[in-house]
Structure 1
């Protein structure tokens, strides 16, 4: 009996440790990155909803990447904590650019993509809201497609004497789910991501569990429209079919 109790206690202890270790391991995997890459190849990945941070020098190019799926309208926000006012020699202009998996720069629908910070400003905030990510596009078009998106943050205007001053930067991406209202016919066989070669390529969707399948809310609207059309047809027939009795034939003379 004593051995049984000891074995039961040991099993309960191991179960508790596993239960505590599971969430801790998951939290470690979900931690936002604290560094940035210096090129497309070395861009630091982060998930939507996370705030990625990095310490850098004024003049560095900072790169991050995040995934975006069909029907989403991503908004990228960046913030730069500027050097101490006493150390700066003038105003600075900072800018963020967003590129898709083929490294095509995507235009911002709205948001402050570039901003000048006065010589006494402590920080500068930037934002860029992209167009809705599509499931399919013409080869010649520049429409945003599902896959990896790259964020580049850098200073574009400053006094040469301010190059190399330390700064702290942060970036985050969130999306508004537009859904079927922006859906189009066709599908993309694989999300657009940068491949191992210098040219961007496509990778299989199996490597990206964030990517949705063929389903969109547009199917709901299509099905609802078909049901309403059928009901309208049945109602119209019921109203116009008549009593069903044969018409009276006038007597012959």
Structure 2
């Protein structure tokens, strides 16, 4: 019984140490992090945003708006976009698409990716939740992989009379940490970050530079997941079960001599 109680206390302590780490997986917005007030017009000039931030952009109906963000292994990113329309406009259909670092369009697991705004609507909202990012995948597969992701927001059904009307777009990216349930054996040598981003230099002129946005704690590359913790716990429980089974099934001890 002393062994069982000691092991139970160890498991309880382990639970207290694992839970806060899982809660800290989602980065919290920092007060000094700049949020872009513009959007790019192509993959190369996509404006960088971090997870948990909301980017805004003033544009014209008919423009292609691009942003980029990082996503690491074990995360399930969700992109939410809000388009604020002018007072007078016809019915418009907008769509948000997400591409990975290889510019492969990623399917939305759920969410309203395309929506039509009525002629009197002041705004519309779109959402796209991707599949969980994998640390490694077969070359022929289209699985989400760690690296830069691109968001493209545009009107796909736009009357000619609405071309050029002013609109305001807001995009927010957040990710949920899924954990070891989707962990795989393998990792990329480097995250897929081939894109470029728009930054403002001291002269307030836009310049395209190599993407440097990355997760708050750096790229994990799939080397760690909570599967390691529960594998160790499972091994300890198996060992304890073996000791307990032996204690219950062994025969009576050999009698000692007089």
Q: Does 1:55 align with 2:58?
A: yes
Q: Distance in 1 between matches of 2:45 and 2:125?
A: 24
Q: Does 1:211 align with 2:219?
A: yes
Which residue of structure 1 aligns with residue 81 of structure 2?
78
> For residues 70 and 82 of structure 1, do their structure 2 counterparts lie closer, same or farther at Cα, with a shift above 3 Å needed?
same
Deviation at 1:188, TM superposition (A): 1.8
Q: Distance in 1 between matches of 2:58 and 2:187?
A: 40
The structure with the largest alpha-carbon Rg is: 1
Answer yes or no: is the 8 Å Cα contact 1:190–1:205 preserved in 2: no
Answer yes or no: is the 8 Å Cα contact 2:70–2:214 preserved in 1: no
Q: Distance in 1 between matches of 2:172 and 2:212?
A: 26
Q: Distance in 1 between matches of 2:230 and 2:187?
A: 18
Which residue of structure 1 aligns with residue 138 of structure 2?
138
Which residue of structure 1 aligns with residue 194 of structure 2?
194
Which residue of structure 2 aligns with residue 184 of structure 1?
184
SS of the equivalent of 1:220 reads: helix
Which residue of structure 2 aligns with residue 237 of structure 1?
246
5+ residue gaps, structure 1: 1-25, 197-202, 247-253
Q: Does 1:168 align with 2:205?
A: no
Deviation at 1:103, TM superposition (A): 0.7
Higher helix share: 1
- Quote the RMSD (CA, aligned, Å): 2.2
Answer yes or no: is the 8 Å Cα contact 1:97–1:105 preserved in 2: yes
SS of the equivalent of 1:222 reads: helix
TM-score (norm: length of structure 2): 0.76
SS of the equivalent of 1:33 reads: coil
Deviation at 1:207, TM superposition (A): 10
> For residues 208 and 138 of structure 1, do their structure 2 counterparts lie closer, same or farther at Cα, with a shift above 3 Å needed?
farther
> For residues 206 and 100 of structure 1, do their structure 2 counterparts lie closer, same or farther at Cα, with a shift above 3 Å needed?
closer
TM-score (norm: length of structure 1): 0.78
Q: Does 1:97 align with 2:97?
A: yes
Which residue of structure 2 aligns with residue 5 of structure 1?
none
Which of the residues 208, 226, 240 maps onto 2:235? 226
Deviation at 1:232, TM superposition (A): 1.2
Aligned residue pairs total 211
SS of the equivalent of 1:95 reads: strand
SS of the equivalent of 2:240 reads: helix
